[in-house]
Every structure is written in C-alpha cells, then in structure tokens.
Structure 1
Amino acid sequence: MDNKQDILELLRSVARGQTTPEDALLSLKEEPFADLDYAKIDFHRSIRQGAAEVIYGAGKTPEQIVGIVKAMGERNCRNILVTRIGQEAAEELAAAVAVQYHPIPKLAIAFPEERPLRGRIVVATGGTSDMAVAEEAALTAEAMGNQVIRLYDVGVAGLHRLLASLDELMSARCVVAVAGMEGALASVIGGLVDCPVIAVPTSVGYGASFGGLSALLSMLNSCASGCSVVNIDNGFGAGYLASMINQMEGIKEEER
C-alpha cells in the first residue's frame, strides 16, 4: 500500500468482510517503504509508532539528505526532523525545501508546520554548555506537538537556581534532565517531582568525566525513583521518549 487510496480500499475490504481486522492491522504495520538504493524510507512509521521517521544526518551526504526529505515531503510528511546536520548540508537542504535550521543542536526541521501543543515537558540543564543536547531534546518534543518549558543553567553548583523554578517542575508531565560533569541534576530533580525524569548525560566535563561516562554511570546509579537514562548526548532520544510519555498522559486525561 503506497497511498491513502490503497489504505481506503483495505478498509472497505474489512467492511465487506473480505479481510479480517487483524489481517488489515498487520498489513498497515508492515507496509510500505520506499527504496532509494541508499535509504529505505519507512512511510508507515507514524501509523505504527505515532511519529514519522527521523533522519540522522551525520554520515550522510547533503544529496542523500535532500533525496530522503524530498521523498518524504512528496508523501505529505511534515515537521521532518534531521538530526546532527552541519551548516553546509543544512544550506543545501534549505535550497531544495522549506527548512528551519537550528545551529546550536545542529537540527533541521523540514516542511515545518505549526500544530497544537499538548501538556508540558520541562527540559532542564546543569549548565549552559549542555544547551546543544538540551535544545535537540526540546526541539524534538516541540516538533512532535508538545509544549516545552526550558530551564537552563540550573545545576547543583547553585541549587537555589533550580528551586526557584519549582512551579514549572511540579506542573510537568515529564522532565528531561541534561547534565555533564558528575550528572547529579537528574537525581535532585527526581527527588522533587512526581512525574518521570529522563536523564541525559552529556560529554561536557574535564578529563575524568571520560566523555560523559562519569555522568552516565552516576545517572544509572541514581537513588531517585522514576529516573530513566538515555545514551550520552542523546537529546533526540530523550525528547522523543518525553513526547511519548506526555502524549500518553494527555490521552488518559481526555478519557477521564
């Protein structure tokens, strides 16, 4: 099934009793994808997972990125995320399609489209140096339809800065805590809030931080309940997971 008409025909087949609902669901989950030789674009990811495929820009040529984005745009995909894309590649992409480029996190949003923002996700950083990873998380969550509150430079070296934002923290459905060095921010926030905390270790720090490994291990060993941990510098993964948590909470509230 390559278009809406094919899906509509499948649904009509279910209505006629020629296809079981279970078989139709399986077909929708399994198809389709487009083979561009250098990439196989999964057009039904939004049906299976609720969000369209995201393009990891590092390691891809500008031509490959443009080709993938154009193919997705032709299928009416919007707010297409391209992570870890450099300035030169972003400029080539912008020459081909509508793009919003954010140089700090090196993230592009192709075919940007405004959408209603739901719930509230807080993205907090230990320091200003963590902003690149934090912005990747925040922009990912916003592109997926979530309201995001940014609390930057509220690390444990000056705890009063974090405590001054308790209202924002307490009203969040999910908090993304981004920190390098010893990574203590996630544990502190985890001990204050009643929502899930997604800890993001960053590679910020001096030699003994081992490129973020120290923060990663600290976050994994957190004594605060409700903390989960993503990979080092994985702002995208944190923003995506925060969106899933926020959207699920929104559905629960609507059902009530």
Structure 2
Amino acid sequence: MAGLLAINVAEPDVPGLAAQALRLELDLTPKPGLVDRANNGSHQDMNHALLLTSIAAITPWLTVFANIGFEYAQHPATEQLRLLRPAGIACEQAMFAATGGVNTHKGGIFSLGLLCCAAGRLQGLNRAVDATSLCRQVSEICCGLVARELLNRKSCCTAGERQFRDYGLTGARGEVESGFATVRNAVLPFWHLEQGERQLQHALLRLMASNPDSNLLSRGGRAGLRYVQRYAALLLATGWDNAALRQMDQALMARRLSPGGSADLLAVAWVLAALA
C-alpha cells in the first residue's frame, strides 16, 4: 500500500466522503432490488453484514487512490489510469478476500476510486477540489477509455464488453469518460428538492429512470432495464413514499432485478453533492 503523502488537509476529504457515501447507500431503506437494512433485495449471495465487511476492506484503499493521484499529479492525465490500475486490482482482491469471493463493490471501487484519484491529482496541481473540477478531472483521466477498451476490442471477455457489442451501451466506462454525465444531468440539479433519506431515494429513482444500468441488462436484458426505468419514472411522475418503494422492491425481487449500477452512481452523487 502506498505511504501517506502530504495532501493538503484544508482541502475536502474525498476518500472520507467516498467511504461515508458507501455506508449511506448501503443503509438507505427501502431500496428496490438492492441490499438494505430490511432485506437482501434480489441477491442470494450477499447481505447487509457482508457489505459492511466489504466497505471496511475497501475504505483504506480510497486514500491510496488519492495518494496516487497526488504523487503522480505532474504526469499527463491520460497516464493516471495505468498508474492507478495496480492499486485498483489490489483493492478488488482485498474486497474478494473479505467477502469470500463475492463481488460486492467492484463498480463502486471503479467509480469512487477514480473520484479519489482525481481529488489527489487536483491537490497535487494546487487546484480547487469541487464537484465541477472533480468531474472534469475524471473525464480527462478517462479520455479515450471507451475507444481503447470497447470500440477497438476484438473479443468480448467482460459483461461490459458484451453489452457494448450487443446493445451499443458504454456502461461504467462511458459514464466515467463523460465525467459522470448521468449524475450531473439527472441527479444533481434536483438534489435539494428533498431532504434526509428521501433525498437519497429521490436521487436513486432518478438514476434508475435514466441510467442504462449494466446490472439490470445482465439480469433481465433490455426488457428488465426498460421495466425498471419505466417503474421509476412512474413513481417520479405520480409521487412516492416508503410503501411505494417497498412495493417496487417486491416487484424487482420477483424478477431478480437489481439496479446495482445506479447504486454505485448514488454514492458518486452523494460525494459530488457534498462538494457542490
């Protein structure tokens, strides 16, 4: 693990915010199709306690990602992914070791790890760390990622690569290369319409209505994705409460649908909103 570097403590603690976001996302209840305090959602292999264990294993690495961005700040933005990748793989290995091989937070490691790296790099360049600069920095770091890993890939090994081949969707790679455009456009402008847990539930519904979630595609194909998008859009249009969310939870569990990609982006949204 990389040693701690002299990151300016006056700047926002993005790794700390990222860890807090993971815990808030997990505890949010009810959360349709996802593990929460009430049930395991559409998952047979994980529960609330296992996800807490996963978060504990991931948390130290969030600072490592920021340290890497800080240490190599003078390197071009497009080199950051290569420099970050070994730590990202090590973080995933720590997650798998803690969970007995269950993929609990791989998407969160990718998205939040990039946010932390971007924050460290901005500090290393003596630039302000805020929601706008972070998103721009992540986009610069990931410039060309879709072309390199999806457009020019001849074989399909991962779920993301297969979904690009079959549906033309760029998934998490496209989201980070866009500087989290889905979060910026579908969530952040509406963040202050609600408060408390309703704020997070509202954000999650907006993400489920707009995000082409790769987890939903993997579990339910296009039909499953459309079902969740339309259901979330209906609740946003007609109004919702915890009872409506619990009913949606049951509907998604019956269809084994889990909007895990939107859950990852909810954590990103909370970090960015905290910095806005």
Question: Is the shorter-chain TM-score for this pair beyond 0.5, marking a shared fold?
Answer: no
Q: Larger % of strand: which?
A: 1
Which structure has the greater CA radius of gyration? Answer: 1
What is the TM-score with the length of structure 1 in the denominator?
0.29
Q: Larger % of helix: which?
A: 2
